Amino acid sequence: MYKKYLLKILGIVFPALLAVSCIVPYEPGELLNKEGILVVEGNISITGPFDIQITRSAALPTTSSSPGSIHYERNALVYVRDRYGTVYTSESHSAYGEYHFDFSDQSPDLQSEYQLVIELQDGTTYESDFRKARHSSSMELHYKIDTLQEKLIIYVDTYDISGESTHYNWKFRESWDYVSQIMSLAFLDNNIVKETEDFRPWMYRCWDNRESSEILLVETSSLSEDRINDLVLHTINFRDIRITQHYSIEVIQTVLDRDAYAYMQNMKKNSNDIGDLFSPQPNEISGNIRCVSDPSVRAIGFVSVCNSVSKRLFISCMGLPGYPRERLPEDTLMPLSASAQSLARLKQEGYSPYLVDPLAKASYWNLTRCIDCRSKGGTINIPSFWPAEWPRY
């Protein structure tokens, strides 16, 4: 989730902000042409599934024309260990360095302490410190359609009667569907314009998603009670494509201990300060991941042990103004007997068929980007959690 900030810090702060000069730029030799720093993202959850992502940035570039890149640690041995020596291994991992765990059915001790262990193929071993799980309070979501500000506003409420939570972090993943500007009942197949079956539109409705990009933190220790009401989690402008049809947001609330909260605050501050010549130099970001096989090797990340809670909110956005529509050119009519070369040329010019007129023996064409919903970044794959009563195409 926080790779955006970590990459900024690794790729910009270290080479650019250690020394600033308008005459001779300083390039720290110790950071050039070396393998990047290991970055660990995620938290251990003993009550449900969780993911740990492990990446490593490339060597810092020696010139502006040779940017670094991300390396995903795909074949590491990653496991969780408790104080008694019990080991919980990852169930699977992806090509993006994501290691999936779920040992909640193995009755882990809720009162024990846990650590993350990473063993790389080169023999290097990293460990987080042992930490005990934090209590996570319940959470409620609600929203408001603000016609004055022309925004959809999503709020979160939480309350912990025990007063033990106090340090909160939220992240979310939003999903939405949208439709094309033109409903197409025809498509091009092997240079032949065909009608869709049963009047089902072609590439008309798509689904897309996005993860939160901001670090949202709140501390309640200075309040009279551990309660948060009507905290603005997310806002979306009426003209945004995300709220033209249907929208869903899954929010994950994690209660952090004081150290983890300070780490997140530090990372948020550094991310916000990057880019301003006169802003304070970013604080050192490290966390609680250390290389036990070579203490001189740095790593970045803070792994907490938590009982995160999640909730999903569904919102029907029908009736909202929606994003501005493009002014369409006049339709192009093509005879159904048109040659393959003529159809291919029109396709290359950015047009697609959307209607067949059997009487006129012609097909109607217009801009593909206004016909094919995939041109706006989504796919026709329906999310598994999508309500059955909402349109499917």
- 3-class SS of residue 51: strand
If you search the block for the tokens 């195409």, which residue do you land on? Answer: 393
Return the bridge partners of 305, or none.
44
If you search the block for the tokens 């009507």, which residue do you land on? Answer: 230
CA atoms within 13 A on the CB side of 344: 5
What does the pLDDT profile of the chain (393 residues) look like in tens digits? Answer: 545 444 444 443 333 333 332 233 333 333 344 457 899 998 998 888 889 999 986 554 544 444 456 789 999 999 999 999 999 999 999 999 999 999 989 989 888 999 999 999 999 999 999 999 877 678 999 999 999 999 999 999 998 888 888 889 999 999 999 999 999 999 999 999 999 999 999 999 999 999 998 889 999 988 888 899 999 999 999 999 999 999 999 999 988 888 888 888 888 887 665 544 444 444 456 689 999 999 999 899 999 998 788 899 999 999 898 888 899 999 999 999 999 999 999 999 999 999 999 999 999 999 999 999 999 999 999 999 999 999 999
Measured between alpha carbons, how far is 249 from 267 in angstroms, rounded to an integer? 24
Measured between alpha carbons, how far is 320 from 326 in angstroms, rounded to an integer? 17
Q: Using an 8 Å Cβ cutoff, are 302 and 287 in contact? A: yes
Q: What is the DSSP letter of 196?
A: P
Measured between alpha carbons, how far is 216 from 155 in angstroms, rounded to an integer? 12
Provide φ and ψ at 75, rounded to 5°: -125, 35
Which tokens belong to 273?
């300060």
Euclidean distance between the first and final Cα of the chain, in Å? 30
Q: Using an 8 Å Cβ cutoff, are 172 and 250 in contact? A: yes
The two most distant CA atoms of the chain are separated, in Å, by 79
Side chain identity at residue 118, one-letter code: I
| Count of positions (residues) in the chain | 393
pTM of the model: 0.80
